Amino acid sequence: MPKLLDVSPTKCATCPFRPGSKYAALAPELAMSALSNSSRICHSTGSNAINQRTGKPPRLCRGARDIQLAAFHSTGFIDAPTDQAWQAKVEALGIDKRKRR
């Protein structure tokens, strides 16, 4: 099973989802991927095409997670577009993070 990653607590300085980001042109495609494929890894963590070796453990992108939360909330899957509502749904569904590592 894949290891579950923590979500970045805030958008990084160059997050494509941050207004004025130099990577803002990537946001629409990344949002579609986050909604149809999987969570995105923050480009300021782990090793990736933008930053080869950040020296930080990989985390999920806060901007992409915010897009996911808004979508889950708009469909009624979660009660609010927040990490707390997502966690409540995970617990209600009986998903145990420790078993997925």
Per-residue pLDDT, averaged over 21-45, amounts to 90
38, part of any domain: yes
54, part of any domain: yes
Q: How confident is the model at residue 50 (pLDDT cuts 50, 70, 90)?
A: low
User: For position 13, what pLDDT does the model report?
Assistant: 85
For 19, phi then psi, to 5°, come to: -55, 135
**Angstrom distance (rounded) from CA 99 to CA 71:** 26
The boundaries of the domain holding residue 47 are 24-100
Which residues are CB-contacts of 48 (< 8 A; sequence separation ≥ 6)? 41, 54
Helical ranges in the chain per DSSP H: 27-36, 62-74, 83-92
68, part of any domain: yes
**Angstrom distance (rounded) from CA 15 to CA 18:** 5
73, part of any domain: yes
48, part of any domain: yes
User: For position 101, what pLDDT does the model report?
Assistant: 44
Quote the number of domains for the chain: 1
Q: How confident is the model at residue 55 (pLDDT cuts 50, 70, 90)?
A: confident
User: For position 27, what pLDDT does the model report?
Assistant: 94
**Angstrom distance (rounded) from CA 10 to CA 82:** 13
Per-residue pLDDT, averaged over 60-82, amounts to 96
11, part of any domain: no
**Angstrom distance (rounded) from CA 14 to CA 10:** 11
Q: How confident is the model at residue 48 (pLDDT cuts 50, 70, 90)?
A: low
**Angstrom distance (rounded) from CA 92 to CA 13:** 34
43, part of any domain: yes
> 91 pLDDT exceeds 50?
yes
42, part of any domain: yes
